[in-house]
Amino acid sequence: MKFFATIGKREKWRHDKPRELRVVLVILILVGAPLAALRADNLITNGSFSAFGSTPPTFSSGSATLASGSFLAGQTNNTAITGWSFVAGATVVGGTTVDTINQASSSASTIPDPPSGQTFDVQLAATAGLLTSTSVTATTTAAIQVVAGGSYDLRFFINSQADITSAATGTIAINGAAIAVTSSTISTIGGALRAGASATHAGNTVTMNTGTIGTSSKTQAWDQVDVLFNATASGNIQLVFAGTSAGNGLALSNITLSTTPEAASWKLTFGFAIVCIGYEAVRRRRSRSNGHSTRKN
Question: Domain extents for the chain?
Answer: 63-260
Are the C-beta atoms of residues 162 and 115 closer than 8 Å to each other? no
From 279, 285, 154, select the one nearest 228 (Cα to Cα): 154
Under 8 Å between Cβ of 107 and 63: yes
Residues 6+ apart with CB under 8 A from 294: none
Rounded to 5 degrees, what are φ and ψ at 270? -65, -35
pLDDT at 26: 53
Beta bridge partners of 140: 84
Q: Which residues of the chain have pLDDT under 70?
A: 1-40, 65-80, 87-99, 125-136, 262-297
Amino acid 132: pLDDT = 32
Per-residue pLDDT, 151: 96
CA distance 294 to 82: 73
Give the pLDDT confidence score for residue 16 in this predicted structure. 52
- Would you put residue 69 in left (φ > 0), alpha (ψ -120 to 50) or beta? left
| Residue 48 amino acid letter | S
Q: Report pLDDT for 288.
A: 64
Predicted pLDDT of residue 296 = 54
Q: Which residues contact 115 (CB under 8 A, 6 or more apart)?
A: 121, 157, 189, 222, 253, 254
As its CATH architecture, domain 63-260 has: Sandwich (2.60)
pLDDT of residue 37: 45
Buried b or exposed e, range 2-12, using 16+ CB within 10 angstroms: eeeeeeeeeee
Span 233-287, pLDDT tens digits: 999 999 988 888 877 888 899 999 999 875 444 444 555 556 556 656 666 666 6
Pairing of strands 151-159, 63-65: unpaired
pLDDT of residue 283: 64
- pLDDT given at position 257: 96
What pTM, to 2 d.p., does this model score?
0.72
